[in-house]
Amino acid sequence: MISLVTKEADSGAGVDEVHTWDARLDWAYGLIADDPSERTAALARLTIAKRNVGDALMQFNNVWSSTQSPGRQLHYRDPALQQAIEVHRDAARHSLPDALWNRRCADIREWPGLPYALLFLEWEARYPQAWTQHAKKWGTKEDLLRDMAVAGHNKIVRAKLTDLIEIVIQRPYRCKDRDYVRVARAVDSADLRERLGTAAESDNPWARRHAGYVLWLLDRPELPNSLHVWRKWIGLPR
């Protein structure tokens, strides 16, 4: 696995947090492996992790219900309830996409979970059927893409985001793919434009249309990425 920690964050608690994420979720890299057997093994791990989250949630609901019994006031500091909450949180930290929710770090560029957010997006981009079957959360995809659409990512993250854009433009549109335009604007580079230009001249009709549109918007940063603008671009003579 390639570390995405910047030199500025590569010290003290930052490294400890990254190692903690790796200890919980390093198996998830199998979800994007080229080897089908590795992907199958990772999906089995994910199935177990999701089951653990479900069991923990059920246990929390049972404990919560018991605190709602007649004559008993609900106390969130009740030891049994606090334990049930922590068990559920811990289970969620070992599963996807649950581990990506409730991010405490406001700046995604400094978030120790960033590698796994990128993994989640890459899984959807490369293996959309498996992602849809096992972890479909369009809102999570949308939130991650919008949060990542900022300048200042390190070189490794920029390269990964560029790769994802290149993959996504070559397929039929999927829900929330439009937010990759935000990312493209944030990581705009000669390399990205060269890849988009190649795709726009390819035999793939989806790539020609999507890549051409993204290139057109990169040259017009003042335009919103809206349905109206898309229709305007579609109607332009070529």
pLDDT of 11 strictly over 60 = no
Contacts of 130 (CB under 8 A, 6+ apart): 31, 39, 43, 123
Question: What whole-number distance in Å separates Cα of residue 39 and Cα of residue 58?
Answer: 28
pLDDT of 3 strictly over 70 = no
Chain segment 20-35, per-residue pLDDT in tens: 999 999 999 999 999 9
Query: 0.85 cut: is pTM over it?
Result: yes
For residue 75, the model assigns a pLDDT of 66
3-class DSSP state for residue 61?
helix
Q: Confidence class of residue 66 from pLDDT cuts 50, 70 and 90?
A: confident
pLDDT of 196 strictly over 80 = yes
Instruction: Label residues 192-215 b or e (16+ Cβ within 10 Å = b).
Output: bbebbeebbeeeeeebbbbbbbbb
pLDDT of 221 strictly over 90 = yes
Q: Mean per-residue pLDDT for 42-49?
A: 98
Average predicted confidence (pLDDT) for the chain: 90
pLDDT of 6 strictly over 60 = no
Q: Confidence class of residue 9 from pLDDT cuts 50, 70 and 90?
A: very low
* Ramachandran quadrant class, 32 (left: phi over 0; alpha: psi -120 to 50; beta: rest): alpha
3-class DSSP state for residue 133?
helix
Q: How far is residue 140 from each of residues 132, 189, 227, measured CA to CA in Å?
A: 13, 26, 22
Nearest in space to 141 (alpha carbons), one of 105, 109, 97: 97
3-class DSSP state for residue 117?
helix
